[in-house]
Structure 1
Amino acid sequence: MSIDELRDDTPAPGVLRLTLNRPGARNAISLAVQRALDLSLSAAAEDDGIRVVILAGAGAAFSSGYDLKELAAMTEEDGVAAMLERDELLWRYFTFPKPTVAAVAAVSRGAGTLYAACSDFRVGGPDTDIAVTAATYGGANLTWLLDGLVGAGHARDLLMTSRSVLGVEAYR
């Protein structure tokens, strides 16, 4: 991974912004990027000067999800190991001891939506376009969290259809 694939800056005192910086891949989250994110968050958790973390995406997407090209190149065994590791990394993000904000500009799919849902706050605009896409490949994720965020009926709709939700509907 290039160090540039996860940028960090401090736009205000006490604020750490971590930006997924793979715009050519719609900020797909490679395992290396996810590990770098985890390391940055571990350091931020120990830094008393950081009070909040913002997760953002560069370019025209928050994140298109996990890097499917990387996953396709893995053996079945390596793919399973990577997904188990990713679950642990996502859980550490969900339980991060400081507030997290997902700045969901434009499109969010797959793991991007997982990170947005696991953030304490999500911000976007009318053009934000977010979807839980696991049903498109026979999977299910966010079943443990989505009911509490959007209500049981909406959660089932999103989990079973993988339909896209635009910012105006998401705000409602």
Structure 2
Amino acid sequence: MGFVEFVKDTEGIASVKINRPKVNALNESLVDELTESFQSISDDSNIRSVILTGEGSFFSFGLDVPEFLGYSKESFTKFLFKFTDLIKYVFLFPKPVVAALNGHTIAAGCMLAMACDYRVMVSNKAKISLNEITFGSTVFASCVEILKFVVGGKNAERVLYSGTMYTAKEAKELGLIDEVVSKEELKKTAIEVAKEFAKKDTHAFRSIKSLLREQVAEEIGKREKDSIFEFVDIWYSESTRRNLKDIKIHS
């Protein structure tokens, strides 16, 4: 079963929608599909910008914790390399990526949103958070460096140390998102932003984006591998494992 809906219009805008009921939790198949979708977009010269969104009341819950609790350490580690490769791929993607955050954007889902160029979020009860610390988990070097790039070092500390679930308004004040709109205006606004990006010279955009982000990517490269191994060690620790087993997302 496919979990990603991929549509491109006649104006050079591609839409990538995560649709994995009920909460768009990220598992291995979904990460593979997202990677394939972005690779396809990269190869299509007719596509000039991308909108990444979700179906329902969640952009993404984050990792499918119950599913990954059944993974061996080796298999989970391999997946995390695959997932962090996707985050870095989106972060350095040569075309503009607009995140249309249709609902709750949590943990690994928030990491994916942070990798985009622009974030529009609905103004209802949706929350956004990097809340890993609240259930005894850590994050990756890519998460830390991209978050610092987006909100600055001090705000990154605030977000990661507290694990706070922020409203869209609070997130905008922190710099986590760029714009807050009603649910009814989300699609329209995301398309408008994507069209503005699409007007830009593609070579110039690619060059500027690379100049802005390549140093961040280099810093990630120095620490990502070790951070993944540390993430796995903490994930499989007794106390964190207990907390993770309490997370239910499919009931």
Query: Normalised by the size of structure 1, how large is the TM-score?
Result: 0.92
* Matched position secondary structure for 1:73: coil
Q: 2:139 corresponds to which residue?
A: 140
Residues 38 and 89 in structure 1, CA contact (< 8 A), matched pair in contact too: yes
Greater per-residue helix proportion: 2
Q: 1:38 corresponds to which residue?
A: 35
Q: 1:115 corresponds to which residue?
A: 112
Note closer, same or farther for the CA distance 1:148–1:92 as it changes in structure 2 (3 Å cut): closer
Note closer, same or farther for the CA distance 1:138–1:29 as it changes in structure 2 (3 Å cut): closer
Query: Normalised by the size of structure 2, how large is the TM-score?
Result: 0.64
Higher RCO, 1 vs 2 (CA within 8 Å, ≥6 residues apart): 2
Unpaired runs of 5+ residues, structure 1, are none
Q: Distance in 2 between matches of 1:82 and 1:114?
A: 15
CA shift, 1:134, in A, is 2.1
Residues 23 and 61 in structure 1, CA contact (< 8 A), matched pair in contact too: no
Residues 108 and 131 in structure 1, CA contact (< 8 A), matched pair in contact too: yes
What RMSD in Å do the two structures reach over aligned CA positions? 1.4
Q: How many residues align?
A: 169
CA shift, 1:10, in A, is 2.6
Q: Distance in 1 between matches of 2:68 and 2:87?
A: 17
Does 2:61 align with 1:64? Answer: yes
Q: 2:4 corresponds to which residue?
A: 6
Q: Distance in 1 between matches of 2:149 and 2:91?
A: 14
Q: Distance in 2 between matches of 1:90 and 1:171?
A: 21
Greater shift, 74-83 or 8-17, is seen at 8-17
Unpaired runs of 5+ residues, structure 2, are 174-251
Q: Percent identity?
A: 27
Q: Which has the larger radius of gyration?
A: 2
Q: Partner letter of residue 158 of structure 2? A: D
Given candidates 86, 102, 118, the residue that maps to 1:105 is 102
